[in-house]
């Protein structure tokens, strides 16, 4: 039987009992109620069964309630686990976030933070919880910027702040703070601080790059993979003449095959492919159609991401000015600045090319080497500005004479070279040389300063022919110069053709020049002193210092050979200083010594006198050696004084004021101006030896010597005769009133240690013997 069948009658009776219980008095009095028999109520088994049934129901209800509670607990546990997992995820997320994150409640007190916040600020979470920024002793650097408005009533706040980390590193933080709402209720705020230092630096670099791009002096263009222009800067627009809009989307001219040499483009892209960049010179045609030389650097920029296309960056520098400067410098390097003529370097190249042509065509090349006669005097008298004007005029005259196919070059201060090519022979070249000389016959007028000056210059020309006189450039130039030196030495204003014997003379001159320079360095010079006596009684009044050179292998070298060479090379200046120092030192040692000269005469050269510090140098030497100024006499030639008389008067006046005596040497051998002579601050006139040597044989010479003596007397000057070799010469000079004399008759030049005045009888020598022995009375300088 099923349970329903068993319990159904029971349940019906229980229900009846329950109903009867509502009227207890009734069923208690009568076992029958409403037709229901209630007698079973008195049966104990009924009640046992009823209470058992109630217990089962109660137990079922309890079990149901327990089951429901278990389900609710299980559901709650699942919800708590889900919340715990979410909190774990959130905590892990916060801990993993590299940016500082913090939480605040409605009052601004910290409720938590992540480890990145602790690392950034150096504040532990335990130091923050429950405290606001105002309550902290050390709040984050951005707190002041976010406190001006409360997150509880305001919206999201954002600020940039520089913060110093505990390790001392300065970082820039982008801080965002926003309120948190739950069901419309403000729960506080959350803040995130992101480190944007790298971004700021990148933005700064980008700003710099943009500034450089906009203001760079070099043109910059960005090309895509198809070599089309995508961007340009203003400098490139200035170079090309095109606007940015006109250039965008086009291909540069310098990368187009029709505009550029294909070989250059092939090399360019090959190097870009191999090395990533190429640099070189290209030509770009600007908007006006003018070709602009550019120095280009083309760089391949790899794609920023996989699958992208590479692009190219081109930096272009306009080198038009550089090219023009290079051309100008090349012109200056190969041309003379003053005259504009080719210089020696370009001349050598042209001669080399003409030799090559002559070899192929079996023709000749003529080289004319020109030296201007009298040019040095122009510089000395009128200055270098006038000298430059003279050189320009001479160059112009030479250009007017030669053909356009000929070359005229300036190779020295006053030296020019003309190269003739083609069917040229010695006679043709000689005729051209004569026309060049004729071109210099007219005076050159120089207007530098007032008044204008006229200079008469000549030209000494040497000729050398290819291949007869040389087959190389050096041989032709050297032989032409040797021929010019011969023309200058023997017959000025002429053309001299090269002859083989000239080479030996040039070689000897070169060797002597080298030896002279070496002599200055190793002190091969010495001074000898020749006595000067008073004619009336033969008393010693002074001595002249004479320069001597004894070469270790050549032996004694004549002053007539090395003095002119020293003048030409400029070595006379250091040699002259040494002579002055040595002579003054010796004069100082002789002061007050009996039988020794109390005055020493020293010859000075034109180059020495033209030194701007000559007077200062003399004064310094006198002071250094202790020589009295009156013990020094400087001898100068009359021709030197008359080259620039006013300057000479000023110079000699300065020496005279310091007590130094001045004598005019070789007086009477040149053209003298009496008007200048009377103004010259000189004390002595020296009669040249050429007059003294012919006193007994030529009446005219005697008359000139007599006139010099009378002139000196009238001007209150002393007179000294050079080269007195015989008693007859001495007697004649004494009778005519000459004051002093020097020569072999009174003593020959000797070193200072051997100096002594000898009797005239023992010192007599014939002029021929004196000349043979080389004891000519030449100026030390």
Q: pLDDT tens digits for 607-664? A: 888 888 899 999 999 999 999 999 999 998 766 666 666 777 888 889 989 999 999 8
- Name the phi and psi angles at 129, rounded to 5: -55, 125
Report yes or no: 240 and 219 within 8 Å, Cβ to Cβ. Answer: yes
Q: Is 417 left (phi over 0), alpha (psi -120 to 50) or beta?
A: beta
% of the chain at pLDDT higher than 90 = 30
DSSP character at residue 605: -
Question: If you average pLDDT over residues 266-274, what whole number do you get?
Answer: 91
Better-predicted residue by pLDDT, 626 or 88 = 626
Instruction: Kindly tell me if the per-residue pLDDT of 538 is higher than 90.
Output: no
* Burial of 572 from C-beta contacts in 10 A (0-12 / 13-18 / 19+): buried
Query: In terms of DSSP H, where are the helices of 671-765?
Result: 674-677, 689-692, 699-714, 727-735
Q: Is 743 left (phi over 0), alpha (psi -120 to 50) or beta?
A: left
Q: Rounded to whole angstroms, how far apart are CA atoms 142 and 194?
A: 12
Distances (CA, A) of 399 to 112, 462, 603: 99, 18, 43
How many helices (H) does the chain have, and how many strands (E)?
A: 28, 28
Instruction: Kindly tell me if the per-residue pLDDT of 770 is higher than 50.
Output: no
* Burial of 251 from C-beta contacts in 10 A (0-12 / 13-18 / 19+): middle
Instruction: Kindly tell me if the per-residue pLDDT of 297 is higher than 80.
Output: yes
Mean pLDDT of the chain: 83
pTM assigned to the model: 0.46
Question: If you average pLDDT over residues 589-602, what whole number do you get?
Answer: 92
Better-predicted residue by pLDDT, 467 or 20 = 467
Least trusted range by pLDDT, from 34-43, 461-470, 540-549, 587-596: 34-43
Provide the CA 440 distance to its chain's centre, in angstroms: 43
Helix axes 727-735 and 699-714, enclosed angle (nearest 10): 40
Per DSSP, what are the bridge partners of residue 157?
177
Q: Give the pLDDT band (50/70/90) at residue 114.
A: confident
Residue with structure tokens 């088994």? 45
Q: Rounded to whole angstroms, how far apart are CA atoms 304 and 283?
A: 31
Residue with structure tokens 């005729």? 431
Instruction: Kindly tell me if the per-residue pLDDT of 296 is higher than 70.
Output: yes
Question: If you average pLDDT over residues 384-399, what whole number do you get?
Answer: 91
The three-state secondary structure class of 767 is helix
Better-predicted residue by pLDDT, 751 or 778 = 751
% of the chain at pLDDT higher than 70 = 87
User: What's the Rg (C-alpha) of the chain?
Assistant: 61
Q: Which of 327-331, 475-479, 492-496, 504-508 has the highest mean pLDDT?
A: 475-479
Q: Which of 89-98, 107-116, 476-485 has the highest mean pLDDT?
A: 476-485
Strands (E), 621-769: 632-637, 661-667, 684-687, 718-721, 740-741
Q: Give the pLDDT band (50/70/90) at residue 773.
A: very low
Question: If you average pLDDT over residues 384-406, what whole number do you get?
Answer: 91
DSSP character at residue 761: G
Q: Rounded to whole angstroms, how far apart are CA atoms 701 and 692?
A: 8
The three-state secondary structure class of 163 is strand
Least trusted range by pLDDT, from 92-106, 138-152, 424-438, 638-652: 138-152
């Amino acid at each position: 039987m099923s349970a329903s069948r068993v319990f159904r009658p029971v349940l019906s009776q229980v229900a009846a009992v329950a109903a009867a219980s509502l009227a207890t008095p009734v069923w208690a009095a009568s076992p029958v109620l409403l037709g229901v028999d209630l007698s079973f109520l008195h049966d104990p088994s009924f009640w046992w069964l009823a209470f058992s049934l109630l217990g089962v129901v109660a137990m079922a209800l309890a079990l149901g309630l327990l089951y429901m509670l278990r389900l609710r607990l299980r559901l709650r546990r699942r919800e708590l686990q889900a919340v715990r997992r979410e909190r774990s995820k959130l905590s892990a997320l916060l801990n993993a976030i590299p940016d500082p994150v913090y939480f605040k409640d409605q009052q601004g007190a910290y409720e938590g933070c992540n480890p990145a916040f602790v690392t950034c600020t150096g504040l532990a979470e335990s130091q923050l919880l429950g405290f606001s920024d105002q309550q902290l002793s050390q709040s984050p650097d951005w707190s002041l910027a976010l406190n001006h408005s409360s997150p509880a009533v305001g919206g999201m706040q954002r600020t940039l702040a520089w913060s110093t980390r505990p390790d001392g590193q300065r970082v820039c933080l982008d801080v965002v703070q926003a309120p948190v709402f739950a069901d419309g209720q403000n729960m506080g705020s959350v803040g995130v601080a992101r480190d944007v230092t790298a971004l700021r630096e990148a933005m700064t670099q980008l700003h710099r790059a943009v500034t450089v791009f906009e203001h760079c002096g070099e043109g910059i263009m960005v090309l895509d993979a198809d070599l089309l222009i995508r961007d340009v800067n203003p400098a490139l627009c200035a170079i090309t003449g095109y606007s940015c809009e006109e250039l965008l989307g086009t291909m540069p001219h310098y990368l187009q095959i029709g505009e550029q040499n294909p070989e250059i483009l092939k090399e360019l892209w090959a190097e870009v492919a191999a090395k990533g960049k190429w640099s070189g010179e290209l030509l770009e045609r600007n908007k006006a159609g003018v070709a602009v030389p550019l120095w280009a650097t083309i760089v391949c920029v790899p794609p920023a991401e996989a699958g992208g296309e590479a692009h190219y960056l081109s930096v272009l520098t306009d080198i038009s000015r550089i090219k023009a400067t290079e051309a100008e410098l090349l012109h200056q390097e190969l041309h003379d600045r003053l005259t504009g003529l080719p210089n020696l370097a370009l001349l050598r190249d042209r001669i080399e090319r003409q030799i090559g042509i002559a070899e192929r065509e079996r023709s000749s090349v003529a080289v004319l080497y020109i030296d201007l006669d009298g040019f040095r005097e122009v510089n000395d008298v009128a200055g270098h500005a006038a000298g430059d004007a003279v050189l320009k005029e001479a160059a112009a005259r030479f250009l007017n004479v030669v053909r356009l196919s000929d070359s005229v070059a300036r190779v020295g201060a006053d030296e020019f070279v003309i190269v003739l090519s083609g069917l040229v022979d010695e006679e043709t070249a000689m005729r051209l040389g004569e026309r060049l000389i004729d071109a210099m016959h007219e005076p050159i007028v120089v207007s530098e300063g007032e008044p204008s000056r006229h200079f008469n210059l000549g030209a000494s020309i040497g000729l050398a022919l290819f291949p007869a006189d040389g087959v190389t450039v050096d041989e032709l130039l050297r032989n032409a110069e040797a021929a010019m030196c011969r023309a200058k030495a023997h017959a000025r204003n002429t053309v001299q053709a090269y002859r083989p014997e000239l080479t030996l003379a040039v070689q000897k001159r070169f060797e002597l020049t080298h030896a002279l320079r070496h002599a200055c360095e190793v002190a091969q010079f010495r001074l000898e002193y020749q006595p000067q006596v008073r004619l009336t009684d033969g008393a010693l009044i002074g001595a002249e210092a004479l320069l001597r050179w004894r070469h270790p292998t050549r032996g004694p070298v004549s002053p007539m050979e090395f003095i002119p060479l020293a003048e030409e090379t400029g070595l006379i200046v250091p040699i002259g200083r040494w002579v002055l120092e040595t002579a003054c030192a010796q004069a100082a040692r002789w002061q007050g010594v009996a039988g020794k000269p109390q005055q020493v005469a020293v010859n000075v050269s034109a180059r020495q006198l033209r030194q701007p510090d000559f007077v200062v140098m003399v004064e310094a030497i006198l002071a250094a050696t202790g020589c009295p100024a009156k013990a020094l006499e400087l001898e100068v030639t009359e021709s030197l004084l008359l080259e620039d008389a006013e300057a000479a008067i000023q110079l000699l006046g300065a020496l005279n004021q310091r007590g130094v005596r001045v004598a005019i040497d070789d007086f009477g051998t040149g053209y003298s101006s009496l008007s200048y002579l009377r103004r010259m601050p000189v004390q002595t006139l020296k009669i040249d030896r050429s007059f003294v040597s012919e006193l007994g044989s030529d009446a005219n010479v005697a008359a000139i010597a007599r006139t010099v003596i009378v002139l000196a007397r009238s001007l209150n000057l002393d007179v000294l005769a050079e080269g007195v070799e015989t008693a007859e010469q001495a007697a004649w000079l004494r009778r005519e009133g000459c004051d002093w004399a020097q020569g072999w008759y009174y003593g020959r030049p000797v070193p200072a240690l051997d100096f002594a005045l000898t009797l005239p009888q023992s010192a007599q020598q014939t002029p021929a013997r004196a000349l043979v022995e080389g004891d000519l009375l030449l100026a030390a300088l």
